[in-house]
Amino acid sequence: MLVGAGVGIGYGWWLRPMTYSQANLSNLRMDYRTDYVLMVAGIYNREQNLEEARARLKQIDPAAPERAAREALLNAGQLGYSQTDLQMLADLVQVIIPAETVIMTPSTQVIQP
């Protein structure tokens, strides 16, 4: 029985290990994506490094990191995030997309020019 277990473990770990082909940040549910962008906003708030923030947002949406920030802000407003969290997200959106105006209301809106 021990030999069979050893062979099975050896086969599973070394000869045919499991690979995760869809385990990346772009596949997260919207609420988790919003939490991730909020963490990016918190780091940006502390470090003020725009390029690092963009690089982190590209992990969620490589084609349009600005869209990830905007969607996270809108979703955070719908999910009832705290005013502090909404403000951090709004600050990030305004830095990432300087032409947009963010109006902080109970429903939080992003106005495009």
Residue boundaries of the structural domains of the chain: 25-111
| pLDDT for position 105 | 59
Over residues 26-77, the pLDDT tens digits come to 778 889 999 999 999 999 999 999 999 999 999 998 888 888 999 999 999 8
Largest CA distance in the chain: 70
Taking the whole predicted model, whether its pTM rises above 0.85 is answered as no
Over residues 83-111, the pLDDT tens digits come to 999 999 999 998 988 765 656 655 555 55
How is 58-83 classified by DSSP, letter by letter?
A: HTT-SS-HHHHHHHHHHHHHHHT--H
CB 20 within 8 A of CB 55: no
